[in-house]
Structure formats: structure tokens, C-alpha cells
Amino acid sequence: MERKILYSAVQPSGNLTIGNYTGAIRNWVRMQNDFDCFYAVADLHAITVRQDPATLRRRTLEIAALYLACGLDPEKCTLYVQSHVSAHAELCWILNTVAYVGEMERMTQFKDKSQKHADNINMGLMDYPVLMAADILLYQAHYVPVGADQKQHVEITRDIANRFNNRYGEAFRVPEPYILKEGAKIMSLQDPSKKMSKSDENLNASVYLADDRDTIIRKFKRAVTDSGNEVRAAAEKPGITNLLNIYAAFRGCTLEEAEREFQGTGYGDFKLAVGETVADALAPVQEKQKQLLGDKEYLAGVLQSGAENAFRAARKTLSKVCRKIGLYRGE
Ligand code: TRP
């Protein structure tokens, strides 16, 4: 049976957290067995906010190595860097002519980022969703796995695809968001009412995938807890609940099993156990990532054949689109 096509991408900006790991990365790895997956490092999206060139270059490679270290298998899926396949920028230009300024101005992320980067509201920032539509539509994706914050982008992609198909004839499959059966959301260690974020200013709030063992354990020791002394999940215990969720996610057990395990344990010992569990789980990934980053030739090879694969698929869509809209391509 033909496998369904799945498309996703991650920006090489900021340092990934354990929330990205349990919420996104591990799912990408799982899904490569069931779908025909295209996974991109979205460097063209990243430059819509100011990036230091050397850092951007380093992070692009680090993210690719991280995904491979987590188990993405280049034999099973297509892993590549967005800017290596020029069809993304080309299709984006064409889709710009069917996307409306008004609808882009209304996008939540555009409004947020315009506030945050008031000194750099560039055209690319507003065009971000159109480039994302180009990413997805080029590969005729059935599904796009995204978290809640990106759902609006998949909606606009569907609108753009439908509008194009209606105006010029069928060129795109209209994709569906693929809502992940996520485990519990991972919250900030310093304020469990907030999602753990890679851009949190409080460095103790987030545990990064790149943190070493001592840092991880220290951050968990400093995690805010709740009044009382019982380790159990409850609405009035958001701090402890968050830690239990993290433990369960890294142990691969249920919340109830985690609660049972720590019945009668004090907060201090519990936090140490969570820290150690997370550090133990990340150690082999970090080791593998380091090893991959030490073999630039291998990494470059994987990304190059990924880009070639992606280009082959993208080219088909792009030439169809060019034909439909009347760009002269010879007789
Ligand atoms: N905007 C996405 C994010 O920040 C990254 C992304 C770029 C993406 N292109 C995509 C995600 C296409 C899904 C499909 O998370």
C-alpha cells in the first residue's frame, strides 16, 4: 500500500528543550515507520528574525545531527536543509500572488513577532506562512504534524492550496494537520503555569537538550514545588504534577505508575530522581550527536542526498504549477 506523505520542519533557532524532545522529536522518529516523511531544517524561516550567520550555520548542522542521534534514519525518511532546495523559494514567490496581505497581517504569530521585533518587521516575517505553505504543498503532503501554535499556519496553507486549485486547476493536495497524541505538555520548572520554552529568559526554567548532567540535576533541584509534601498529581500541585509528567515521559510509564513509585518519597529525593532520569535518558543522544558532529563529511552526505531526494519530489509539483499559471516552458 502506498504510504501517506508527511511533512514537518524545525527552525534552527534557539536551543531545543526537553519539551521539544518529548513533544516533537520523538514523534518524528516514530512516524518515519508509518509515513513517507520529509523533514526539513527550516533555515529560510529562521532568517525572518535577525540571526548571527556563524551561529545559524552551526545550529543548522547541530539540529540535523540531533535528529539523527534521536533515531531518524536517512534510509527511511528524507532529512534535508530547506535552503538546499531552491524550489521552496520559487513556489513561495508564486504563492505570494494568491495570498492576501490582509490575511497575513491577521496571523497570530506575525502579530506576536512584530511586537517582539518591532525594529525589524521585514517582508519575510509577514511572508513566513506563505513560505511554510510552499514547504508543505511542494511535497503533496497528506499530513503536517504540528503543535497547537502552528495550527493556524496549516489552516492558511489549506486556504492557499484551495484558492490556487480553484483558480488554476488541481495542483496541490490539501493537507491536514496531524494532531499528535501528545503526552502531557511540559511546563517551565520555575513557573508551571507556563509552557517550557526555548526562549525563556530564566535559564533555570528550561532544561535544554544540550545541558550536561550536572546542569540538568541542578535545574531539577531548583524546580519550584508546591506546598505540602506528597508527591502526587493534582490541580493544586502544578509543580509536582509537571515533574511527574516529565518523569513519566522519560521513563515511558504512566502518570499513575510514576505517582505510585514516589509514594512516601520527599520532594528533595523525588526531584533528584527526576533529574537523574532525564540526564540518563539524554546522555546517549548527546554522545551520538557529538560523534556525528565530529564526522562532518557523513553529515554533509546525508543532507546532500536528502536534498536530492526532496528536489526530485518538489520539482514535479513546481513544474505542474508553472504550467498551470502560464509560465512559458517551451512547447
Ligand atoms: N514554523 C515551524 C515552527 O516554527 C517550522 C516549519 C517551517 C514548519 N516550515 C514548516 C512546520 C512546514 C511544519 C511544516 O515550528
The residues spanned by each domain of the chain are 5-179+296-325, 213-290
Ligand 1 pocket: which of 6, 10, 59 to mutate (most atoms <8 Å of CB)?
10
Ligand 1 close to Cβ of residue 110 (< 6 A): no
The per-residue pLDDT for range 288-308, each reduced to its tens digit, is: 999 999 999 999 999 999 999
Please tell me the predicted confidence (pLDDT) of residue 222. Answer: 97
pLDDT value, residue 205:
97
The answer to whether residues 37 and 6 touch, using CB atoms and an 8 Å cutoff, is yes
Overall fold of domain 5-179+296-325? Rossmann fold (3.40.50)
Q: Does 150 sit in the ligand 1 pocket, CB within 6 Å?
A: yes
Nearest atom in ligand 1 to the alpha carbon of residue 153 is: 1
Residues near 189 by Cβ (< 8 Å), separated by ≥ 6?
Answer: 196, 204, 205, 206, 207, 219, 220, 222, 223, 224, 242
Q: Which fold has domain 213-290?
A: Tyrosyl-Transfer RNA Synthetase (1.10.240)
Distance 165 CA to ligand 1 centre (A): 22
Please tell me the predicted confidence (pLDDT) of residue 185.
86
Identify the DSSP state of 235. T
The answer to whether the pTM exceeds 0.75 is yes
Q: Concatenated DSSP letters for 130-193?
A: HHHHHHHHHTT-SEEEE-GGGHHHHHHHHHHHHHHHHHH-------EEEE----PPPBPSS-TT
- Residue 87 CB less than 6 A away from ligand 1: no
Ligand 1 neighbourhood includes 77 CB (under 6 angstroms): no
- Distance separating alpha carbons of residues 50 and 238, to the nearest angstrom: 35
Distance CA 126, CA 229 (A): 49
pLDDT beneath 70, residues of the chain: 181-183
CA of 155 to the centre of ligand 1 (A): 13
Check residue 321 and give its pLDDT: 98
Between CA 87 and CA 148 the distance in angstroms is: 27
Q: At what angle do helices 267-293 and 238-251 cross, to 10 degrees?
A: 40
Report the pLDDT value the prediction gives residue 182, as an integer from 0 to 100: 62
The active-site residue out of 4, 151, 198, 221 is 198
94 lines ligand 1 (CB under 6 A): no
> CB of 60 within 8 A of CB of 306?
no
In angstroms, how far apart are the furthest CA atoms of the chain?
78
**85 CA distance to ligand 1 centroid (A)?**
16
Q: Distance (Å, rounded) from C-alpha 139 to C-alpha 7?
A: 8
